[in-house]
Amino acid sequence: MFALIDGNNFYCSCERVYRPELKQQPIIVLSNNDGCVISRSSEAKDIGIKMGVPYFQIQHLIQQRKLTVFSSNYELYADLSRRMMNTIASLVPAIEIYSIDECFADLHNLNNLHQLGHNIRNRIQQWVGIPTCVGIAPTRTLAKFCNHLAKRYRHHFNGVIVWTDWNPNIQQRALASTPVSEIWGIGRRIGQKLAAQGIHTALDFINAHTPTLRKQFGVVLERTQREMQGLPCSELIINEASRQHIVRSRSFGNIITSLDGLQAAISHHISAGAAKLRQQNSHAHIISIFIYTNRFRHDQSQYNGYQSIKLPQPSADTLTLNHIAQNLLRNIYRPGYKYKKCGIELSGIEPAQTFQQQDLLYPSQHNHSTKLMSAWDSITSRYGRNSIQLGSELQSSHWHMTRAQLSPCYTTQWHNLLEVTDQLARNNYL
């Protein structure tokens, strides 16, 4: 048996943890640079706010005090996600973190699963403050399906559904009432192709001719069907696999027209990418750099620059990678353009223990580099990611994201700790 635990409207719920007066209020969270809506509370959905709607189209609701808006506070969301996952892990044998707001849990040899689902929900609510829904079933795909139903009808089922608690008639009714596109791994595009063949609901999908599905859509869709039929085709992935390709990029908060601004942004992305390499004990053989203008501004000159190089020696050293990246940037930079985005790619990634043939033209500085980066990581782990920065990263701040409605980082920054006053206590906010 598997459980899928999912945080409801996760980003919005995170904002409410330290702002309980917003519990019944419509709130939204915006994407990078405050572009569009990426998370909505149930109340915001009820007043017609659509996912992905541009911010400028709903600003009048904020001015009328009908809606509360937040910029994306990824540091807060990541920390509350970590607390949520640790809370779930305290009640089950093992978990697989699927995304920032959901995870699968192994319920092997556990009894009274319905009560366990409520225990998980209650503990997360009490310890972290995030409302959740829980779907429990014999396969991961069915657990995801049950979670969808628990969220869709959360007031009826109180946020928990156990597939095996239902008799076959109820199971078939649930399957028949759900579009096939809602099944995990199918989506809108494949759903349209299935609908063209008369497969409209989850029940139609389960009863479809398996050899025909495999012939037309491949073995992956066949496995999805078998999982929906209750036959496990996948297990939990307890240990996160090392990344084989690392990309760091971001659109700028302001247009960049100088090399200094691009250099600062590239240094920031290189630092993050190199830290990820060291975290998974690996190094990269290839580094690539790209810079873009705003492709949506047809009234402006367009330019896309890209260059890649194979390193003489694989590395996870921030200083080494940044030196090479800055050389690549200078090669592709063209003055006179208005740049909107840049990024880096690290590929050819392999474990750091892999033997490497030494290059006579590039003497190895491995021992010195390892000690220096170990000290770097130790300091940033203790004092925060920005406690050490490359000098080139400080040349400009114009590339930073626009986050005009950013909430405090209540759990990770000392100066953002919540202040409890007598007035707050009298209002029973805490």
Write the pLDDT tens digit of every residue in 54-89: 988 988 888 888 899 999 998 999 999 999 999 999
Q: Is the pLDDT of residue 357 over 60?
A: no
Q: How confident is the model at residue 390 (pLDDT cuts 50, 70, 90)?
A: confident
| Together in a domain, 36 and 58 | yes
* For range 191-216, the mean pLDDT: 90
Q: What strands lie across the sheet with 94-99, from one edge to the other? A: 94-99, 102-106, 2-7, 132-137, 160-162
Does 179 share its domain with 153? Answer: no
Distance CA 320, CA 244 (A): 20
Residues 108 and 154 occupy one common structural domain = yes
| Domain CATH code at residue 190 | 1.10.150.20
Whether 11 and 152 share a structural domain: yes
Q: State whether residue 410 is helix, strand or coil.
A: coil
Q: What is the pLDDT of residue 69?
A: 93
3-state secondary structure 82-127: HHHHHHHHCCCCEEEEEECCEEEEECCCCCCHHHHHHHHHHHHHHH
**Is 39 among the domain residues?**
yes
The winner for highest mean pLDDT among 54-63, 245-254, 281-290 is 281-290
Decide if 405 is inside a domain: no
Mean pLDDT of 164-189: 91
CA distance 312 to 325: 14
Domain boundary among 107, 136, 163: 163
pLDDT in tens, 212-237: 888 888 888 999 999 999 988 877 77
Residue 348 lies in a domain: yes
| 32, HSE (Cβ side, Cα atoms, 13 Å) | 11
Please write the tens of the pLDDT for every residue from 8-36: 999 999 999 999 899 889 999 998 888 89
Residues 252 and 388 in one domain: yes
**Domains: count for the chain:** 3
Q: Does 195 fall in a domain? A: yes
Domain boundary among 105, 138, 163: 163
Lowest-confidence range among 106-120, 154-168, 323-337, 408-422? 408-422
Of 163, 188, 206, the domain-final residue: 163
What's the chain's average pLDDT?
88
Nearest to 4 by CA among 131, 150, 125: 150
User: Domain range for residue 182?
Assistant: 166-229
- If DSSP codes are grouped into helix, strand and coil, which group holds residue 275? helix
In a domain, 146, yes or no: yes
| Residue 300 in tokens | 């402006």
pLDDT at 369 over 90: no
Same domain, 33 and 116: yes
CATH code of residue 253: 3.30.1490.100
Tokens linked to 307:
């260059």
Q: Residue 427 pLDDT > 70, yes or no?
A: no
Percentage above 90 pLDDT, the chain: 52
Per-residue model confidence as pLDDT tens digits over 256-271: 888 988 999 999 999 9
In a domain, 241, yes or no: no
Q: Based on the domain organization, do 211 and 286 belong to the same domain? A: no
- DSSP conformational letter for 49: P
Q: What pLDDT was estimated at residue 397?
A: 77
Whether residues 197 and 78 share a domain: the answer is no
Residues 274 and 315 placed together within one structural domain of the fold: yes
Co-location of 263 and 347 in the same domain: yes
The reply to whether 86 and 28 lie within a common domain is yes
Give domain status of residue 425, yes or no: no
What pLDDT does residue 101 have? Answer: 92
Whether 363 has a pLDDT exceeding 80, the answer reads no
- Do 33 and 129 lie in a common domain? yes
Inside any domain, residue 201: yes
Which CATH number characterizes residue 159's domain?
A: 3.30.70.270
pLDDT at 149 over 70: yes
